[in-house]
Amino acid sequence: MKAKFLTSSIIVFTLFISQLNAQEISVFSGLWGSEYYQDSNRIDKEQLMSLLKTNPQALNLWKGSNTYKTLAYAAITVETGFAIWTVDRLRKKESSLGPTIGTLGSAMAVIVFAVIMNKKKKEAILRYNQGLDKKTAFRLEPSSHGFGIVLSF
């Protein structure tokens, strides 16, 4: 009797566990960068990366966003150099057309790379969330005839 109860309890518990769905990831803009949430719980980047590693397509998109992040930082460095050069030329009352064009061009590159980076991050999270939509072939429902649980296929 005890063995049957234990066996049936394990089976029911296993079926309930298999019905649990993974939680979706959300991203919001924060003061110091993006904030990531798994449903209503805030997660850090390490936890996000461990979740994204379960979906290779999402991980590749995330790595692509990191490439554009690196390019954006490089463009910011170039922009800073051009801006310093422009200010130096203006202080000396020399022509600053070249450095000014360089400053504006690198600023546009920063904007383009940042937009692409954010787009790739959002695509990675969407791809991860789409992977959670897997439906099972069965579901547990309350019995319509009496007390119990029915396994429906």
Q: What is the pLDDT of residues 92-134, one digit of tens each?
A: 999 889 999 999 999 999 999 999 999 999 999 999 988 876 6
HSE at residue 109, side-chain half, CA atoms within 13 A, is 18
Residue 54's φ and ψ, nearest 5 degrees, are: -80, -15
pLDDT of residue 17: 46
In this prediction, residue 4 carries a pLDDT of: 64
Stretch 60-89: mean pLDDT: 95
Burial (CB count <10 Å: 0-12, 13-18, 19+), residue 85: middle
pLDDT of residue 62: 94
In whole angstroms, what is the distance from residue 76 CA to residue 108 CA? 10
Using the predicted structure, report yes or no on whether residue 145 has a pLDDT greater than 90.
Answer: no
Predicted local distance difference test score (pLDDT) of residue 23: 74
Q: Using the 8-state DSSP alphabet, how is residue 152 labeled?
A: E
Contact indicator for 128, 58 with CB cutoff of 8 Å: yes
Give the separation between CA 51 and CA 125, rounded to whole angstroms: 10
- How far from 39 is each of 43, 47, 129, CA to CA, in Å? 10, 13, 11
> Which tens digits make up the pLDDT trace of 5-63?
656 555 545 544 444 455 788 888 877 778 888 888 889 889 989 988 989 999 999 99
The structure's pTM equals 0.68
